[in-house]
Amino acid sequence: MDKDTLQTNLSKQNICMDELLQSLFESTTDAISNRDMQGNILLVNSAFEKTYGWTYQDLTNDPYCLVPENYINETKEIFHQIKFSGKKISGYETVRKRKDGTIVHVCLTASPIRDSAGNIIGTSVIARDISDRKKAEEALLESEANYRILVENTNDIISTYDLNMKKIFVSPSVELHLGYTPYEYLQAGTFDCIHPDDVKTIVDLHQSIFTHKKNVQIEFRLKHKNGSWVYLESHYVPILSVNTEIESYLVVSRNISERKRSEEALRKSEEQYRFIAENTADFISVIDKYGNVTYSSPSHVKKLGTDTIYFENIHLDDASIVCERFSYMLQTKTPVLCVYRYRLENGNWIHLESRGMPFFSTDGEFQYFFNVTRDITERKQNEELLLRTEKLSVMGELAASIAHEIRNPLTSLKGFIQYLQPSLSENSAFTDIMLSELDRINFIVSELLVLAKPQNLHVKPVLLHTIIENVVKLLESEANLRNVEIMTELVNTSVSINCDQNQLKQVFINIMKNSLDAITSKGEISIQTKLLSDNLVLIRFTDNGCGISQELLPRLGEPFYTTKEKGTGLGLLVSNKIIIDHQGSINITSEINKGTIVEITFPIST
C-alpha cells in the first residue's frame, strides 16, 4: 500500500472515530462537561442538561451555578490540581444543585484536556447521578441502626451462622438465657451446647434448609453455663445472595423453658385427672355452649351402653325438671343438682343424680359446663327397702299389740255362733256367712302375726315337685269352677330344697290365688321348673290374666297395697318375707291384658 492510500485510510478512520465519539458523547446517560483553564464552560452534552436542568447558556453566565455555595471552594481546589498538576480524579462523590433547587448526589470522574503538544488547556468532567444509590445506602444505614438496636435490646437470642454452621454472631441476650458472654458462646463449638438427643435433629434441619431454602422452626435444648438444660424455640432463616444461593443463616431463638415446665405440669395434671375420670364409676362429661359433648368418660359406655347421656332417654315426668335445673344453673352461674330416671338401651330404668358446674370466661360469658353423674339406683332401692322395713316394723308392732286383742273376742263370737247355730236353722245361711267372715278375720290376724315376730322355721329337705303337686290338687277344684286350666311342666330331675313345707305351700297358694283372681274368663295357669345351675332352681308361674301396669308393679309387696277389691295387701308381703327367709328371690313382670309372670329361685339342697 502506497503512502497516499494509507493517509486516505487514516483520514477516513479519524472521521469515523470522531463520529463515534460524538455519538457516545450525546447518547451516554452520564453528564459530560468541558471547561477551559479559566473555568468557563466550553461544551455540555444533552445528559448534562437532563441531569441538572442547567443549559449551556446558564453555565456561560455563571460557571458555578450548579455548585452549592458551601462546595465552591472545595470544587475550585480539586480542579486546580487537575489543571495545574495534571492529576486525574476518579470516584469523587459530592453534591450538585439542580436548576429547580433540589440537591443531586453525583460521582465525578475528572481529567485534564491536553493539546497536541501535551499542554493542559482545560478539564473534562463526567458526572453520574448516584442519588438512588445514596438513598438506598441511607435506608440501609438506618435499617442497620434499627436492626442493631433490636438485636442489642431484644430478649430473644439472635445469631448468625455460615454455611458450615459455624457461629458468626450472637446477640448479648445469650448471657441472660444461657449464662455465656457472647465471646464465650462464639468460642464454643457448634454442637458443644446442644443436647445429644437433639444433635441429629439439628443436622437434618440444616440439610433441609440447604435443600429447600425455606424458613423452618424447631424446638431443642441448649446447655446453660450452670449445667442445666434450656428449651429454645428457634426460627431458622436462610440468607440468600442475588443469585438465590444461601450465604448464611439467621437464627432467632426464644427461651420456652418456663412454658415447657408449665406444659409438663399441665400434662401431669391432665394425666392424673384423666386417670380419675377414666377409672371412676361416675359419668363425667364436658359440654360446650352449643350443647356438643367434647369429652365423655368411658364409664358411660360401661354402664349406659352409650357414650353420652341422651335427653330423650330421660323419663318424661323428669325431663321438665332437668331442663329447669340446668336453666337455673346458667342464669345464676351456680352449680345445680338434679335427680331423674333414665332408660338404658335394654329398656331398664335406673336413677341418676347429675351435678352440673358451669364454667365462664373472664368476661362472664358461658363457655361450657362439667357434668358429673352418678348411678344412685342401688341407693334408691336401699332407701325404699329401708322405708319398707320401717313400715314393716311399725306394722309388726301394731300387729303384735292388736292381734291378741282381736283373737280373744273372735274366739268368743265364733263359739257363741256355733252354739246358737242349731236354734237358728231357719237362718243358717246367715250363720254360715258370719262364720266364714270370722275365719277370714282370723286368717288376716294370723298373717299379721307372721309379720309381727320371727317365725321358727322347721327346715328340712323336701321334694319341690311334691309341694307343687299338693298345691295344684288343693286349688284344682276352685280352678275348675272358674274355668281355668292349670298346667305343669316340671324338670325330670328330682329336686330337693331345704324349707318349711307349710310356709312354702303358703307362698305358692298366694301366688296361684292371685292368678285365679286376675283371670276373668277361660284362662290358663302354667307352672314350670328349671335348673339354673347345680345349686339353683327356678319356679315360674305364668297366667293370662288382666295383668298389672308398669307404674303399679314397683308397689307390689307394700303393706296393705292391693289391686283386688277384697284383698288385704298382706299376701305378697308375707310371701316375700318367707322367700327371703329361705334365701330365695322373687321377680314379677306383667303386661296389661296379657298376663303376669312370677319367677322364684331357691337354692337346691345338697
What is the per-residue pLDDT across 153-201, written as a single tens digit (0 to 9) for each? 678 888 889 988 899 889 888 998 999 999 999 999 888 999 999 999 8
> What is the dotted CATH code of the domain comprising 284-379?
3.30.450.20
Rounded to an integer, the average pLDDT of 41-53 is 89
On the question of a common fold for 16-131 and 460-603, the answer reads: no
Ordered by start, the domain boundaries in the chain are 16-131, 154-260, 284-379, 381-451, 460-603
Nearest to 598 by CA among 575, 570, 566: 575
- Give the DSSP letter of residue 427: G
Q: How far apart are the first and last CA of the chain?
A: 149
Q: Which of 268-277, 328-337, 365-374, 495-504 has the highest mean pLDDT?
A: 495-504
Rounded to an integer, the average pLDDT of 507-512 is 88
Q: Using pLDDT thresholds of 50, 70 and 90, give the confidence band for residue 221.
A: very high
Is residue 151 scored above 90 in pLDDT?
no
Q: Give the whole-angstrom CA distance, residue 78 versus residue 84.
A: 10
More confident: 450 or 95: 95
Other beta carbons within 10 Å of 10: 10
SS3 281: coil
Rounded to an integer, the average pLDDT of 505-531 is 88
Angle between helices 428-452 and 377-420 (to 10 degrees): 140
Place of cell 370466661: 361
pLDDT at res. 566 = 54
Rounded to an integer, the average pLDDT of 341-362 is 85
Is residue 1 scored above 60 in pLDDT?
no
Is residue 6 scored above 50 in pLDDT?
no
DSSP 321-333: HHHHHHHHHHHHT
pLDDT at res. 387 = 67
Q: Give the whole-angstrom CA distance, residue 235 versus residue 472.
A: 92
pLDDT at res. 231 = 93
* Long-range CB contacts (within 8 A, 24+) of 64-73: 64/39, 65/97, 65/99, 66/96, 66/97, 66/98, 66/99, 67/96, 67/97, 68/95, 68/96, 68/97, 68/103, 71/95
Q: Give the whole-angstrom CA distance, residue 343 versus residue 587.
A: 19
Which are the contacts of 238, defined by CB distance < 8 A and separation ≥ 6? 209, 210, 213, 214, 215, 246, 249, 250
pLDDT at res. 522 = 82
Chain-centroid distance, C-alpha 474: 68
> What is the dotted CATH code of the domain comprising 16-131?
3.30.450.20
DSSP run (H or E) holding 548:
none
DSSP run (H or E) holding 32:
strand 31-36
Beta bridge partners of 108: 92, 127
Other beta carbons within 10 Å of 109: 16
Residue 444 near residue 406 (C-beta atoms within 8 A): no
Among 2-16, 179-193, 503-517, name the one with the lowest average pLDDT.
2-16
**pLDDT tens sequence across 120-135:** 999 989 999 888 888 8
Decide: residue 95, CB within 10 A, 0-12 exposed, 13-18 middle, 19+ buried: middle
> What is the dotted CATH code of the domain comprising 154-260?
3.30.450.20
Residue 390 near residue 558 (C-beta atoms within 8 A): no
What are the phi and psi torsion angles at 84 (to 5°)?
-110, -10
Tell me which CATH homologous superfamily contains domain 460-603: Histidine kinase-like ATPase, C-terminal domain (3.30.565.10)
Residue 549 near residue 484 (C-beta atoms within 8 A): no
Other beta carbons within 10 Å of 415: 10
Rounded to an integer, the average pLDDT of 542-565 is 73
Is residue 262 scored above 60 in pLDDT?
yes
Rounded to an integer, the average pLDDT of 578-592 is 88
Nearest to 495 by CA among 456, 533, 439: 533
Could you give the angle at the alpha carbon of 539 between the alpha carbons of 538 and 544, nearest 5°? Answer: 130
